Structure formats: C-alpha cells, structure tokens
Structure 1
C-alpha cells in the first residue's frame, strides 16, 4: 500500500495572471489524529514550505487541515516519550518548532490560514503565524497546553502581539478554547464565513493578494518580521529552559499519561 503523505501541497492557478502563476495550498493530512503533528510531519512541512518559498511562480500560500481540524497541536504520544534526563532531546524538540515557525515567517508571499475546526496548542500558534486567518463559527481556538502539564512559552510570544498582555495571560493560564465569533472579536480570525466556505474563501483571498505587487508585499512582510524577530529568539531560548525544568518535575509526563489513558478507554 502506498504511503499517505501527512503534508499535501496543491497548486491552484491564478487565472487573472499570465503563465503558471499559482497559489499553493498546504494541507496537514492526518485527519484521524486531528492533524496533530509529529517531528516527521513537521519536517515534511518545513521542506514543503521551503520549496514553496523558492518557487517564484507561487504568489500566495493557504495553510489548512484535512477533515474536521486545522491542527490539534503536538501529538502527545510522541511528546510523552521524551526522556526527562535527555536535555539535548528536549532542546531539539523546541528547535524543531523554532525552525517551523521561522520557515513560515520567512515566506515573502502572503500566508492565509483556512481554520477549519480545532486549532489548539502549537497548532493554534501555527495558525497565528499566518498573515490572515479565515474560519467559521464552530472553530475552537486556544492554548490548552497547561492542561497537559506543558508550560506555554512560545504560545505567549505567538499570542501577545494579537491579544495583548491580559488576554494572553488568560489563554495561557486557563487553557480555554474560544469559538469563531469570539476569535474574530479578539483578532484571532480575520474573517468569519460559513463552514463549507472556509477553504474556498481563503483561496479566493490568496488569489486577490497574488495580484498585488510582489515587491511591496515582500518588503512589508520583512518589516513585520523585524518587529518581533528578537522576541521569537528569546521565546525559543526560554522554552528550552522552561521545558527542561518542567520535565524534571515529572508533571508533564503524568498529565500526558492520564490524557492518553483516557483517550484509549
């Protein structure tokens, strides 16, 4: 049986522009796990995004998930296996996310997230890396990492520019998820549409942005990156220290084991 790719890239032509100009749709394709990702899946995603970044015929990118979720975040079955005494492995795990985040941010093309369901934890952070986010009323977005004993460190960085200090603290400390209407009110979603129109509207918006002057878009995105590049570097460094300290207590392992045991029942 042929392997089913966990990351699928689809090209959509921009008919208003000449030649093979297109929008790239990047779909997380692990729907039975709500597109929760593993290290292997993120590596495929990074490779796909880097290739898209080099493709001059691609003018915009849509990020989405297969099935009923955008991305539920880290697959806890993988994270639970991290040896608390192996600091190098813990740091490599954080660097893995740092590479993914920087790869998305490095794209000079407009990036739109078609949020088609749950976007939680690092999947929520991934959505927030997009320039625009389109979702529907029944989406569930938030940062529930503390519920699994995992400190929210890069999550604080990802949320703070949109939510501000007070709401960022609320999301990080309570782990609560919000629906589409509240997500739009808070600025987590740029646009709210019917559920069956999320991906179509994201592709349509990407096509509209693809028609704009590419140089101006790239330079504008470059300046936006400069505003918080240092803050991301600081968040990655802090996450390494904090996660090592958290795993040393044994709390993340206990909470993740409890969660996984409940899911198996």
Structure 2
C-alpha cells in the first residue's frame, strides 16, 4: 500500500516501506499507523516479497507519536492513542513474527516508537547522523512498540534502565557498540548499503531465515531442553523441503544455490 504517509516500493523481491511525513519527523498519527499496518500486512502476505526494509523520508527516521495530534485530541487523547497503538502494535507484531527477514535503515533520529521500530530489525543499518532516544518520560508516557521487551534483551537491563528512565540519547557509534545498530555507514551510502544487504537476504533460504527468526525469539521463553526440541523439529521439517535439496545440490556442484521456497513453506515439497 502506497500513499501520502507510507510509501511502498518493490524492487525484485525486496519491499521497502518508507515512513513519509517528513515535515513532522515521520511521526505516527492515527491515519499513518493504520496505513503502516496495511503496508506491513500487504508485504508480509505477498509471496513475491522475500525481504522487507523499513526507513524514513527526509532527515529523520521517526520521532515516535505525533505530539501535535495528541494535543489536538484534547479530552479524547486516550481514545486516540488506543487506536493508534492498536494498529502500530499489530504492524510491529507482524514484522517480528513473519518468516521474512526485516532490515531497518535508520536515516536520522529515531525516538519513541521510532526507536522501538528500529529495535525490531534483524539487521539495523544506521547512518552516521542517526541517534536513538526513548523520549517517553519527557511527555509523561510509558514505552510502547515493545521497547520494554526488546531493549533489555539487546543491551541488558542496566543499560535499558539508563536509556529508558534517564532518557539518554545514543549516537550511531554507541548504538553499534551496544548492539542496537548492526552497522554504521555514511549517510549518503545508507540506502545503497541497505539495498545490497537486503538483496543478499532475499536470495537466502526463506526456510532457514524464517526458522532462525522464530527460534531466536522463542529462546527467551524456553529452557534448554525445550529449545533443543524446537531445533530438532525445525531441522527435520526443513530437511523435507526444496531449499534443503537445492542447498545440498549446490554445495556438491560448487555453485551458488538458487532458493525458491516461499517464506513459511519449510517442509513442503513445492
């Protein structure tokens, strides 16, 4: 879905979703959250899409919720936020749980829900002008977008407390050191580098990537024995699929594999 607030572009098998309200820092209002959810669901459901990239238009990635829209809502602010968060959380949950890889290209400041969105990426590419800020305390709100779940798992509890409670801004290089960013590149190289990486992921085995995403998420709720069982079941399922057969054939033939399985199709023969 493309529109004035969310732009979606498909190039080969990579879908790029661009947050496009640059005059307000790509802040989410109710309409934008709804459009973002529709775009995410459309890309997640499209069998032609093998990797999703999320980025922002202009100088900022996303400053979070639209504070101006909150002010205009007046006494209906809680209702407005409930609707906004419902759509935003549905979109983020889909991004987190789909079998397709997610690359986030942080082209500038990422605050509030923008920070939460960045944390979801399997790979987070950051331009040198990028920075990350929780920002919630300054407007009397608590975290959303899953930040209270993702942030401590990435940086550890003590650092998460510092960033969330003290509202400390993290620059691109510190984000790389903390594990918030996967790679830092020059601003003018960000989208080229991101595109190269996304194409590489899109050419990988969707069976393997989808299983890896799921297993990594499950590991935080599983004990070791349960995780071994999950890995066992996943490996056996993948062994019956076309990607495994192609991978083995390519390895023996000393050629690059041409994976064709659709995301979520592990264990299926076609």
Place the TM-score, normalised by the shorter chain, in its bin.
0.7 to 0.9
Out of 64, 72, 78, the residue aligned to residue 69 of structure 2 is: 78
Do the aligned residues in 2 keep the contact of 1:27 with 1:63 (CA within 8 Å)? yes
Partner SS for 1:169: helix
Q: Report which structure shows greater RCO (CA 8 Å, sep ≥6).
A: 1
- CA distance in structure 2 between the partners assigned to 1:88 and 1:138 by the alignment: 35
Out of 80, 94, 101, the residue aligned to residue 110 of structure 1 is: 101
The superposition leaves residues 62-121 of structure 1 with CA deviations (integer Å, 9 ceiling, x where unpaired) of 110000011111001222345668866554444333212212113211110110001010
- Please list, as runs of the form range in 1=range in 2, the aligned pairs for 1:1-265 lying within 5 A after superposition: 5-13=4-12, 22-82=13-73, 91-152=82-143, 154-227=146-219
Partner SS for 2:156: helix
How far did 1:177 drift?
1.3
Q: Which runs of 5+ in 2 are unaligned?
A: 223-270
- CA distance in structure 2 between the partners assigned to 1:27 and 1:52 by the alignment: 12
TM-aligned CA distance change 1:90 to 1:68, over 3 Å? closer
The superposition leaves residues 230-258 of structure 1 with CA deviations (integer Å, 9 ceiling, x where unpaired) of 9xxxxxxxxxxxxxxxxxxxxxxxxxxxx
- CA distance in structure 2 between the partners assigned to 1:184 and 1:86 by the alignment: 36
TM-aligned CA distance change 1:84 to 1:155, over 3 Å? farther
Look at both structures and tell me which one has the larger radius of gyration over its CA atoms: 2
Q: Which runs of 5+ in 1 are unaligned?
A: 14-21, 231-265
Q: How many residues align?
A: 220
TM-aligned CA distance change 1:221 to 1:88, over 3 Å? same
**Please, what TM-score do these two structures have when normalized by structure 1?**
0.76
How far did 1:218 drift?
1.2
TM-aligned CA distance change 1:10 to 1:229, over 3 Å? farther
- CA distance in structure 1 between the partners assigned to 2:53 and 2:169 by the alignment: 23
Partner SS for 2:53: strand
- CA distance in structure 2 between the partners assigned to 1:90 and 1:223 by the alignment: 32
**Please, what TM-score do these two structures have when normalized by structure 2?**
0.75
Do the aligned residues in 1 keep the contact of 2:34 with 2:88 (CA within 8 Å)? no
User: What is aligned with 1:18?
Assistant: none
- CA distance in structure 2 between the partners assigned to 1:120 and 1:6 by the alignment: 18
Partner SS for 1:130: coil
Do the aligned residues in 1 keep the contact of 2:30 with 2:83 (CA within 8 Å)? no
